[in-house]
């Protein structure tokens, strides 16, 4: 068994789509980043890569590489899952938290879980996503950005 944790944050800005868990959320601002800036998926990928001692998303998907400009983080998550399999790991479970004052995340969480579980080839019961505010405190409370944290458990896969 191996555990990993991940954290990501992006600034909110106008004229960008808000994408979280592969879901486009209708809201007045989106997250600024080189890719689609999906902080939820980025935190999950960092947790998975960390548990497998494979570095972080910056190592695998540098923001200096034009190939990743605007890319869907779902595609990056599929790639990370492939790396895990190549290194003989399987996902036990993932628990993730979105930290945002607005918009409300609860209506979107079922679709986030479905999108991400499909990308990783796992059952939705292996992935928990929740959301919280910071009671108007800090940069997330002031609606300047959105953050996400994730923790995961990997199991070493037995060779057949």
**DSSP class of residue 14?**
S
Binding residues, by number, are 8-10, 34-35, 42, 56-58, 61-65, 100-106, 132-135, 139, 142
Binding residues for a divalent metal cation, by number, are 8, 10, 42
Q: Which among 146, 149, 84, 156 is positioned nearest to 121, based on CA atoms?
A: 84
Cross-sheet strand order for the sheet of 2-13:
30-31, 2-13, 145-156, 89-99, 127-132
Q: Name residues whose C-beta falls within 8 Å of residue 38's C-beta, 6 or more positions apart in sequence.
A: 19, 20, 21, 22, 31, 72, 73, 74
Tokens at 33, concatenated: 């980043």
**DSSP class of residue 75?**
H
């Amino acid at each position: 068994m191996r555990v990993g944790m991940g954290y990501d944050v992006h600034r909110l800005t106008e004229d960008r789509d808000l994408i979280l868990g592969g879901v486009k959320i209708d809201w007045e601002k989106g997250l600024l980043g080189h890719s689609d800036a999906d902080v939820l998926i980025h935190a999950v990928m960092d947790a998975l890569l960390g548990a497998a001692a494979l570095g972080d998303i910056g190592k695998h998907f540098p923001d200096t590489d034009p190939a990743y400009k605007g890319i869907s983080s779902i595609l990056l998550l599929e790639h990370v899952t492939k790396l895990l399999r190549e290194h003989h790991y399987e996902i036990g479970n993932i628990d993730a938290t979105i930290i945002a004052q607005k918009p409300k995340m609860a209506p979107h969480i079922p679709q986030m879980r479905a999108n991400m579980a499909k990308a990783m080839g796992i059952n939705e019961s292996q992935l928990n996503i929740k959301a919280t505010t910071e009671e108007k405190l800090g940069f997330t409370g002031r609606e300047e950005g959105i953050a996400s944290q994730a923790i995961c458990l990997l199991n070493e896969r037995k060779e057949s």
